[in-house]
Chain A
Amino acid sequence: MRWLRIVRSELRKLTTTKMPWAFLGVIVLLAAVTGAAVIWGTDMDGSKGFIATAADQQSLMAFAGNAMMGAALFGAVAVAREFGHGTVVPTFLASPRRARTVTAQVVAVLLAGALLSVIGAVLIVSSVALALQFTEYGFLVPAGGVLRVIVASSLTGAAGGALGAGVGALIRNVGGAVTVVVGLLFISPPMLIQLVPEMTDWVPSTLAWSISGVLAEPGVLAAIAAVAVWALVPVLAGIMATLRRDVV
């Protein structure tokens, strides 16, 4: 199974540099900040209403939106830097079927994005649970809710990783790829909603809330399908660009 060997090679690329550790560091920091917010943070009225109910706590722990953005940045940097450093050359020499190779790259980044996102979700949940010990509120989210938060993070993290990988293959420059990812996931959704209010349910942040069980609309399956579309479009564009362009 040559394709699986390429995926393995791409995973080794990801695990033999410091980049995953840098992202893990950011996740740990995010979890610590969330924990601190639980302990010392208050609503505008000075109350701790934001952790008062199970729904509030699940909303606080819903990491899926951040997971999608973080994994997308991870994927964009991972793939674009391949072109920057030229390490994509030996890969394409060993595996010149470019569509197959880019697909393997996308899958490797997708897996890494999912894993990082699961770790992120677990750390956030743990941090919130630990921090609640120092408040008057207990941990109210049922096991099903916690599981949903973690699964949602893994799904959006996977989609984000794929989206970023597609953008990286398309742009081939780390700065440019990061800019496009931020534009796609952070800047364009509010603009899109301004232009077409009906799109509110279909931007990544809303979809992530829905998959995490925080919002009812759109439905989970529809939200998962929409997140997949957000990821697939850049992936297909990246593959097409790689097929059409010279590698170097």
Chain B
Amino acid sequence: MFPLVVTQLSKSYGSHQVVHDLTFTAGPGRVTGFLGPNGAGKSTTMKILLDLAAADHGTTRIGDRRYRDLPDHARTVGVVLEPDAFHPGRSGRNHLRVLADISGFSLRRIDEVLELVGLTDAAHRRVGAYSLGMRQRLCLAAALLGDPPVLVLDEPGNGLDPQGIHDLRAVLRERAAQGHTIFVSSHLLAEVELLADDLVVVDKGRLVTTGALADLKQAAVTVRSPRAEELAVRLTAAGGTVETASAAGTLTVRGLTTDLIGDLALNAGIALHELASGAGSLEEMFLRWTGDEPAEGASRRSRLIPTAAATRKEAVRS
């Protein structure tokens, strides 16, 4: 089992701090989505995890070791980092042969992964003639060469067609079910919502939230009432964190259960037109977490979202 453990990680480029005291864990047997806006520090974190960049402070471990101390890197960690990390004049198959030479993989294994990613017919063509999706498939083939128990993937769905994304999801889910650790950075939030078990969300280099996606989604309750303002005061007094949504009379409440909110409203004689658990789609949650204004009907407030663990603790306390 190889959990990925990032502890108090910090990294600056000149005076610009791109990762700030970042701590999280991605567990085995889970697909962990690594989310954040552009420039949030995701790629830098991955590069430090993989020993391609040095941290100013903090540690990263795969299992209980630094990446460089792993016994057989290609058989332990498969990586998709940059879809353009190819010589355009080299064929896809030769790119894999270069990697196979270092780690001692057979030609048969190259054929297997090419078949797995659907590149067998294009294997002898030079990579410069590949589409973005084909280069992405080749990256994935390279990552899977060693059949590793850990996959670290930066935007693996970039450029893939719907069938490719479906196949990728199937491969990752299957490997997670086998106990593998899957750590995926992606901007395709709908895809992450279908794929991820856990989330790590960063913004401006800092951890915004982390936890099981299901818990994060259940950590909020949507309430609609014609006396929303009055209800918001009572819910806040009861220990909840209340956000006012742009839709009239709609509140997003954290830290209180649906039962408790229903009872509070009943005792106050406030009618409820809607009471539902769930914080909306991942896209809505992401936009709230990262401070961008969400689409119509979603919350106005931002950056008040505690981590999932803190939310659970809060709920228990209330």
Chain B residue with Cβ nearest A91: B102
In the complex, B53 has a CB within 8 A of chain A: yes
CB-CB under 8 A from B68, the residues of chain A are: 96-97
Residue of A nearest to B84 (CB): A86
The total number of A-B Cβ pairs within 8 Å is: 88
Among A10-18, A137-145, A149-157, the stretch in contact with B: A10-18
Which listed residue (A5, A6, A97, A246) contacts B52, Cβ 8 A?
A246
Residue of chain A at shortest CB distance from B101: A9
The residues of A that contact B88 with a CB separation of less than 8 Å are 85
Is A26 in contact with chain B by the CB < 8 A criterion?
no
Is B192 interfacial (CB 8 A cutoff)?
A: no
> In B213-252, which residues have CB < 8 Å from any A CB?
none
Distance in angstroms between the alpha carbons of A17 and B97 in the assembled complex: 13
Q: A93 at interface (Cβ–Cβ under 8 A)?
A: yes
A96 touches B98 (CB 8 A): no
With A17-B90, A95-B73, A246-B47 as contacts: A89 and B52 at CB distance below 8 Å? yes
Near B by CB (< 8 A), chain A positions 233-248 give: 246-248
**Residues in chain A near residue B101, CB distance under 8 A:** 5-6, 8-9, 12
Interface of A is mostly: helix
* B91 lies within 8 A of chain A by Cβ: yes
Contact A247 B53 (CB under 8 A): yes
Task: Kindly report which residue of chain A lies nearest to residue B43, judged by CB atoms.
Answer: A248
| A117 to B102 alpha-carbon distance, docked (Å) | 27
Within 8 A of B (CB), among A1-31: 2, 5-6, 8-9, 12-13, 16-18
Neighbour of A90 across the interface among B47, B53, B104, B142, CB < 8 A: B142
Give the residues in chain B near A92, CB-CB below 8 Å. 51-52
- Chain A window 121-158, contacts with chain B (Cβ cutoff 8 Å), 1 for yes, 0 for no: 00000000000000000000000000000000000000
Using C-beta atoms within 8 Å of the partner chain, give the interface range for chain B: 20 to 34
Which residue in A8, A12, A16, A89 is a CB contact (below 8 Å) of B85?
A: A89
- With A5-B104, A96-B51, A246-B47 known as contacts, the answer to whether A90 contacts B99 (CB < 8 A) is yes
Contact yes or no, B74 A94, CB < 8 A:
yes
Is B285 positioned at the interface, with any CB of A under 8 Å from its CB? no
B67-81 vs A, Cβ < 8 Å mask (1 yes, 0 no): 110000110010101
Residue from A85, A95, A96, A97 in contact with B86 in the complex, judged by beta carbons closer than 8 Å:
A85
| Contact B87–A85 (Cβ < 8 Å) | yes
The verdict on A172 contacting chain B, using a C-beta distance below 8 Å, is: no
Nearest first, the 5 A-B pairs at minimum CB distance are A86-B85, A9-B101, A246-B53, A16-B94, A247-B52
Seen from chain A, the residues whose Cβ lies within 8 Å of a Cβ on chain B are 2, 5-6, 8-9, 12-13, 16-18, 81, 85-87, 89-97, 246-248
Interface residues of B (CB under 8 A from A): 47, 50-54, 67-68, 73-74, 77, 79, 81-82, 84-91, 94, 97-99, 101-104, 142
Q: Can you report 15 A-B residue pairs in the complex whose CB atoms are below 8 A from each other? A: A5-B101, A5-B102, A5-B104, A6-B102, A8-B101, A9-B99, A9-B101, A16-B98, A85-B88, A86-B82, A91-B98, A91-B102, A94-B99, A247-B47, A248-B81
| 11 further contact pairs, Cβ within 8 A, besides A12-B98, A247-B52 | A6-B101, A12-B97, A16-B90, A85-B85, A86-B85, A90-B79, A90-B99, A92-B52, A93-B81, A94-B99, A96-B67
